[in-house]
Structure formats: structure tokens, C-alpha cells
Homo-oligomer: A and B are copies of this chain.
Amino acid sequence: MKISPYTQAQATHFDREPAKGIAARVVIGKSDGAPNFCMRVFEIAPGGHTPRHSHDWEHEMFVHAGAGEVYGDGQWHPLASGNVVFIPANEEHQMRNTGKELLVVVCLVPGTAPEL
């Protein structure tokens, strides 16, 4: 069993367009022996955003803290703490922080996808 604050995992920073203000952590992955899927936690700074992209694997997300928006189906949708987001494979998506605090999102991918 592994138990740790998500902040204990090493952060990878993405702060060059098309990404801005992102600290990304693999918190449960292959190096922990996770066989089927991978948990990452993204901190998006106020004004920051992820790239707008699509890929052939799905996301299952849980918004832990903060306020922002997610782009999908051609428009932006509000995101708040406690929201759940499912993005099927090949759907274009993007997240941005529209608030004043960190936007913290737990985002899982299948084991066949890149961990980060």
C-alpha cells in the first residue's frame, strides 16, 4: 500500500505555449506497480491552461479544488470542486483556470497511454 500527499510526487512544469502555468505529477503509475491505469494530478495556476488537443485514449477527471473551465463539444463549460469530467478518446479538450486559486484536477488515463 502506498499513501502520500499528492504534492510529494515530483512535479513536471509546462509553461511554454500551447501550455501555461502547469505543474503535473504522476501520483500512481507503473513505478508503483499499477497494472491498468495511471493517476496524475495537474495544478493549473490562475490564468494557466493545458494545450487544446485530442488523442486516442480517454480521460476520467475529478476536480479537487479551484475554479476553471473545460473546452469540449465546441464550447467552454464551467468547472468547480467536486465536478467529474469524462472525455472519451479522440474528443478535443482543454482546461483553463479562470479563478484566483490553483485549479487542482485529478486526471486518469489507461495504462496504454503516456503517463505524462
A9-20: CB near B (< 8 Å → 1, else 0) gives 100000000000
State which of B39, B58, B72 has its C-beta within 8 Å of the C-beta of A36. B58
Question: Size band of the A side of the interface?
Answer: 35 or more
A8 to chain B: closest residue by CB: B84
Report yes or no: B28 in contact with A84, Cβ–Cβ below 8 A. Answer: yes
Report yes or no: B39 in contact with A85, Cβ–Cβ below 8 A. Answer: no
Report yes or no: A84 in contact with B37, Cβ–Cβ below 8 A. Answer: no
Q: Does A47 contact B (CB under 8 A)?
A: no
Given known contacts A64-B62, A64-B64, A106-B106, A84 and B3 CB-to-CB distance under 8 angstroms: yes
For chain A, residues 14 to 41, give those with C-beta under 8 angstroms from any C-beta of chain B.
27-28, 32-37, 39, 41
A65–chain B nearest beta-carbon distance, Å: 9
State which of B3, B33, B88 has its C-beta within 8 Å of the C-beta of A88. B33
Give Cα A106 to B21, complex, Å.
Answer: 25
Given known contacts A60-B108, A62-B62, A108-B108, A83 and B37 CB-to-CB distance under 8 angstroms: no
